[in-house]
C-alpha cells in the first residue's frame, strides 16, 4: 500500500522561507508531485521529482530522497498569496497509470 505524511498546518511570516516536509511509503515509486490548492479552488501543479536531488523553479524548490522516502517543498520570499494548502502526491510504478495518491495536505498561513 501507500502512505503519505505531511504536517497539517504551518505558519510563516511574509518575506521568510518555509519548508514543508513529506514522507511516503510506497510499493514501487514513479515520481513525487507537489500541488498548491487555495480554499475552494482546483489544485495547481508546482513541481515533480523522480530522481534524487533538488529541483528549483523560481521561488519554489522541491527536494527528493528516494532512499529515505522523503521530500520537501521550499518556499522562499513568502508572499501573502502563498497562503494555501500544499499537497504532496506519489505516483506508483505499477500498472503504467497516472494514478496519484495524495497526502492530507499542509495548510500554510502567511502572516504580515
Residues that bind other proteins (CB under 8 A): 30, 40-45, 48, 87, 89, 91, 95-105
HSE toward the beta carbon, residue 81, CA cutoff 13 A: 1
Instruction: State the minimum distance, in angstroms, from the CB of residue 40 to other proteins.
Output: 8
Name the residue nearer to other proteins (CB basis): 61 or 85. 85
Beta carbon of residue 42, minimum distance to other proteins (angstroms, whole number):
4
Closer of 10 and 101 to other proteins (Cβ) = 101
CA–CA gap between residue 15 and residue 38 (Å, rounded): 19
Minimal CA–CA distance to 34: which of 64, 9, 58? Answer: 64
Amino acid at each position: 500500500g501507500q502512505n503519505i505524511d505531511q504536517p497539517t498546518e504551518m505558519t510563516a511570516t511574509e518575506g521568510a522561507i518555509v519548508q514543508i516536509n513529506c514522507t511516503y511509503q510506497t510499493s514501487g515509486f514513479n515520481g513525487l508531485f507537489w500541488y498548491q490548492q487555495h480554499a475552494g479552488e482546483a489544485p495547481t501543479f508546482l513541481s515533480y521529482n523522480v530522481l534524487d536531488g533538488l529541483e528549483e523553479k523560481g521561488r519554489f524548490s522541491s527536494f527528493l530522497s528516494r532512499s529515505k522516502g522523503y521530500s520537501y517543498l521550499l518556499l522562499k520570499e513568502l508572499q501573502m498569496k502563498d497562503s494555501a494548502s500544499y499537497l504532496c502526491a506519489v505516483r506508483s510504478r505499477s500498472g503504467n497509470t497516472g494514478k496519484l495518491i495524495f497526502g492530507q495536505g499542509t495548510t500554510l498561513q502567511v502572516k504580515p
